[in-house]
Amino acid sequence: MKALLFICHGTRLAKGRIEAEEFVRLCMSQVDVPIKEICFLELAEPSIAQGFERCIQKGATNISVIPVFLLSANHIKIDIPKELHHFQNQHPGVEVIYGRPFGVHEAISHLLWEKITKNTVSLRKNTHILLVGRGSTDQDVKRDLEAIASNVQNHYGIPSIQACFLTGSEPSFEEALWNSHKLYDQVIVVPYLLFSGLLINGVKLTIKRYQQQSKQNVTLCETLGYHPILKDVLLTRINETLETKKYAFS
């Protein structure tokens, strides 16, 4: 029997966890698979172990694992596969297929443009946009976010856009923000984060300190959140995984 196991990152904030669950349940309702479970990598329950066991208890013999993550960093490449290998060894008769995160997808450019224009009456000629990612020591994350920024710029003719990061990669958000000082008339910050959590709170604090010291106004866009475009991208990843014939853990 087939199962879908969705893995979200997790957060200590109840609001962020609820947002993630609501988003995934909307996508789950559009997929005809008998067993569907949601779990979290960290900071929330059920854990991956609990989610996997729930699938097994419901009779799953084939589990498609869907990482609800924006980019492919160490969590995707190392942490989750390590756990799945462990569960696969415990249940050798169960086939496990590991899907892809959202990654670089053309449709996300349109979502980001919507976030930008929703918070801005008009873009000035001397506008600078900071696309802020979580960050990672994995250079693929830097490459992918820069590719997404480039896609937005090419689609919509944005004069200046830069990818920056909250941790693990350069340039840091704070550095990129201060480098914008006196160079641009308008600075717009677009958080490349899925839902509410401690990270977006940190972005707000950094902007507040910057505005107090620089006297320059900064526009902060909303997180990506519960959006039809992301739903469509996730459904694409789900269908890709369900159609995969090669078992990732055997």
Residue intervals of the chain classified under CATH 3.40.50.1400 are 2-102+227-243, 106-220
Give residue-wise pLDDT tens across range 168-189.
899 999 999 999 988 998 899 9
**Could you tell me which residues are beta bridge partners of residue 6?**
38, 66
Structural contact between residues 49 and 80, judged by C-beta atoms closer than 8 angstroms: no
Report the first-to-last Cα separation within the chain, whole angstroms: 17
Q: Identify the architecture of domain 106-220 in CATH.
A: 3-Layer(aba) Sandwich (3.40)
Q: What is the mean pLDDT of the chain?
A: 91
Whose CA is closest to 70, among 247, 242, 227? 227
Transcribe 164-195 into DSSP letters.
EESSSSSSBHHHHHHHTTTT-SEEEEEE--SS
26 with 85: CB under 8 angstroms? no
- pLDDT tier at 121, thresholds 50, 70, 90: low
The string of pLDDT tens digits covering residues 77-96 is: 999 999 999 988 899 999 99
Describe the strand order of the beta sheet including 35-40 as a list of residue ranges.
35-40, 2-8, 62-67, 95-98
Taking 70 as the threshold, does the pLDDT of residue 145 lie above it?
Answer: yes
User: CATH says 2-102+227-243 is which class?
Assistant: alpha beta
Residue 246 has pLDDT above 60, yes or no: no
> Per-residue confidence at 20, pLDDT binned at 50, 70, 90?
confident
Q: Phi and psi for 7 in degrees, rounded to 5?
A: -110, 115
39 or 216, which is more confident:
39
Secondary structure, 3-state, 196-228: CCHHHHHHHHHHHHHHHHHCCCEEECCCCCCCH
pTM of the model: 0.88
- Helix or strand or coil: residue 249? strand
List strand residue ranges (DSSP E) for the chain, in order.
Answer: 2-8, 35-40, 62-67, 95-98, 127-133, 161-165, 186-191, 218-220
Q: What percent of the chain has pLDDT over 70?
A: 97
